[in-house]
Amino acid sequence: MSGETDDLLGRPVRPAALVLADGAVFRGRAFGAETVSTGEVVFNTSLTGYQEIATDPSYAGQIVVMTCTQIGNVGVNAEDDESRRPFLSGFVVKELYGVPSNFRSEGTLDEKLAAAGVPGISGIDTRALVRRIRKGGAQVGVLSTDPAVQGEADLLARARNAPGLDGVDWVARVTCDAPHEVSEGAWQGIEGRLPGPARPSRRLKVIAYDFGVKRNILRLLVEQGFDVTVVPATTPAAEALALDPDGIFLSNGPGDPAAVGGVQPIVRELVKSKPVFGICLGHQILGLALGGTTRKLKFGHHGGNQPGQDLATGKVAICAENHGYAVDAESLRAAGEPVQITHVNLNDGTVEGLAHETRPLFSVQYHPEASPGPHDAAYFFSRFRAMVERSAEGEKVTGVEICSMGSQG
């Protein structure tokens, strides 16, 4: 590639190489940071929202391959970030647009990843790469955008010697450092005029455990009339309860749920006295705290087109998902807790939702905040509001009851 220039930017092309642990080699053009990075290689099937994907902390420790062929065309902007910075290990695209065209754009994806120290590669056959992952499963890869580190033997050795996600606590690397309050609500458009339901007038307090929480989740909790305090992942239950919350939220996050240090006993204590709602990793951690186990999926669910069926109504929602592990259904049945499986993924039958028969507890595997992705499941936030409000009034309410409310909450 010596002497070549990018067609759109007119800059010299930098070489990049992605080498998988199985020996596959993909060579293309570098963007983002000039570095060498290791991570589990997964693919995302979303057609929009590459910025939200790149800034989702749940991708920490992973190199993300976009199946959509053209990425970067609308640029990036501060409002659409889902976290304080990108935590993913690398970004892989077929075609990178370096000259975005959008009235909200404040910069390029290339610039954003470079500032965060994240490497990217473009110009490879992403379809062949995705087919390889689907057939063989997610595996470790090494992405090098450093011109001095391009040798296949060296990169292959690094890939084969690197640990995967199993047994690694990635939450510790993305959680916040200290408690903080959140008051920002849902985006109201450029002129602040997007229509939406009024927030409930009665204020209720929620403690959100940050396992790698996405900002739009917090925004939608605010829209439900919650005063939200975000706390680090290992905040002792006593400290959280001392803040006198009306409910507890368990957030999304990266990696192996069984490897997140110290959180299961915390959640076991919290569920004794407070309503709890979990999303994605929070759902898995709730399942573990209730006696279940989790298992690794072959290549995970990453994208905005997953079919999630509500078993109470039979309705199917098109869901945004991002996870490589799932709660094992049989382990929940054997645990002894009166827990019902409320939702399943129609592609592979994996557990997508849980609810407790005697306590105000429920969780979903997918992302009802839909950032990016479909809004079919947004009603879960109003369900959580109803559960917390009724519990605060002294009413005995259960997760199963809440999850039988229907798709409108």
Please return the burial class of 183, using the count of CB atoms within 10 Å of its CB with bins 0-12, 13-18 and 19+: exposed
For strand 36-44 and strand 139-144, is the pairing parallel, antiparallel, or unpaired? Answer: antiparallel
Q: Which helix (H) or strand (E) is 339 found in, with range? A: strand 339-345
- Identify the CA nearest to 322 among candidates 256, 273, 367, 287: 367
Active site residues: 280, 367, 369
What are the φ and ψ backbone dihedral angles of 230, each rounded to 5 degrees? -90, 135
Residue partners of 197: CB distance under 8 A and separation at least 6: 223
What are the φ and ψ backbone dihedral angles of 401, each rounded to 5 degrees? -60, -45
| Helix runs in 137-226, H state only | 152-161, 171-174, 215-223
Residue 361: both structure tokens together: 């507890």
Report the distance separating Cα 225 and Cα 317, nearest Å: 25
What are the φ and ψ backbone dihedral angles of 256, each rounded to 5 degrees? -80, 115
Long-range contacts of 239-245 (CB under 8 A, 24+ apart): 240/207, 240/209, 240/266, 240/270, 241/270, 241/273, 241/274, 243/205, 243/207, 244/205, 245/205, 245/206, 245/207, 245/274
Report the distance separating Cα 17 and Cα 28, nearest Å: 6
Alpha-carbon distances, residue 378 vs 77, 168, 220, 249, 408 (angstroms): 24, 31, 9, 15, 9
Long-range contacts of 100-104 (CB under 8 A, 24+ apart): 100/72, 100/73, 100/74, 100/75, 100/76, 101/73, 101/74, 101/75, 102/73, 102/74, 102/75, 103/190, 104/74, 104/75, 104/77, 104/79, 104/80, 104/190
